[in-house]
Amino acid sequence: MSDVKSVERPAPPQGSRDSAFFWEGVGREVLLGQQCTGCKRFRHPPRPLCPHCRSFEWKAVELSGRGTVHSWVKPIHPPLPMFPEGYLVALIDLEEGIRLLSNLCEIEPDDVENGMSVEVFFAPTRDGGRIHQFRPTQEARRG
């Protein structure tokens, strides 16, 4: 594959009180999910109340970082100065049943497929932090 695009040095993420645990984990290169301690379901984006059982109790659980591409887009206009030309935005369905918005890297847009197996990796941000990104698994690359 020639001229593989990846997002390098993206802008640092802007977290909230509810998502602080998620970004703290990303900073340690660990993908964390919010799991309700009442019904055991995962939820994303993080929020105080479980939409299924209405419990306020939850715990942060390390996620596998493996999933599949649900959908993707190559933004064209307007160009965003914090990202290089040709970056891909993707919705990733994780094995644990939650969906994350992220970037898809190390692949050309024409090679992306729905259901493609991907894995998380962590890229540096401009401020020296980390951000989660996804790339095809070795199995998907062999195709």
| pLDDT-above-70 percentage for the chain | 87
Interval 64-99: pLDDT, tens: 999 999 999 998 877 777 667 778 999 999 999 999
Nearest to 15 by CA among 27, 6, 3, 29: 27
Integer Cα distance of 34 and 95 in angstroms? 14
What stretches of the chain show up as alpha helix (H) in DSSP? 20-27, 138-142
> CA-to-CA distance for 79 and 98, rounded, in angstroms?
29
pLDDT tens-digit map of 90-132: 999 999 999 999 999 999 999 999 999 999 999 988 788 899 9
pLDDT at residue 8 greater than cutoff 80:
no
Contact partners, residue 88, CB within 8 Å, separation at least 6: 5, 72, 73, 74, 103, 104, 105, 107, 109, 112
- Of 133, 114, 128, 143, the C-alpha closest to 27 is 128
Residue type present at position 111: D
Output 13 or 19, whichever has higher pLDDT: 19
SS3 27: helix
Set out the domains of the chain in order of their start, with CATH numbers. Answer: 17-63 (no CATH), 64-143 (2.40.50)
